[in-house]
Amino acid sequence: MGQYYFLRKVEPVKIVHVTDEVLETIWRFEERGRCTVENVKTEHEDASGYVVDDEILSELEKTGLVKISGTEISLTEDGKAHALPIIRRHRIAERLLVDVLGMPFDAIEESACEYEHTLAPGLTEAICTLLGHPRECPHGSSIPEGDCCRRSESSVESFVKPLNALEVGDSVRISFIRKDDPVLIGKLVSFGVSPGKMIKIRQKFPAYVIQIENTQIALEQDIAADIYGVKV
By CB under 8 A, the residues from 176 to 195 that bind other proteins are: 181-192, 194
Q: Is 215 in the site for other proteins (CB under 8 A)?
A: yes
Helix ranges (H only) for the chain are: 2-10, 12-16, 18-32, 37-47, 54-62, 77-95, 109-118, 121-130, 147-150, 182-190, 221-224
Please state the closest distance from residue 210 (CB atom) to other proteins, in A. Answer: 10
201, 219, 227, 230: which one binds other proteins (CB under 8 A)? 219
Q: How many helices (H) and strands (E) does the chain have?
A: 11, 8
Stretch that binds other proteins, among 35-43, 123-131, 148-156, 206-214 (CB under 8 A): 206-214
Of the candidates 102, 227, 95, 88, which has an alpha carbon nearest to the alpha carbon of residue 161?
Answer: 227
31, 78, 114, 147: which one binds other proteins (CB under 8 A)? 31
d(CA 128, CA 179): 18
Please state the closest distance from residue 223 (CB atom) to other proteins, in A. Answer: 6
48, 141, 158, 171: which one binds other proteins (CB under 8 A)? 141
CB 124 within 8 A of CB 167: no
Residues that bind other proteins (CB under 8 A): 31-33, 139-141, 181-192, 194, 202-203, 205-207, 209, 213-220, 222-223
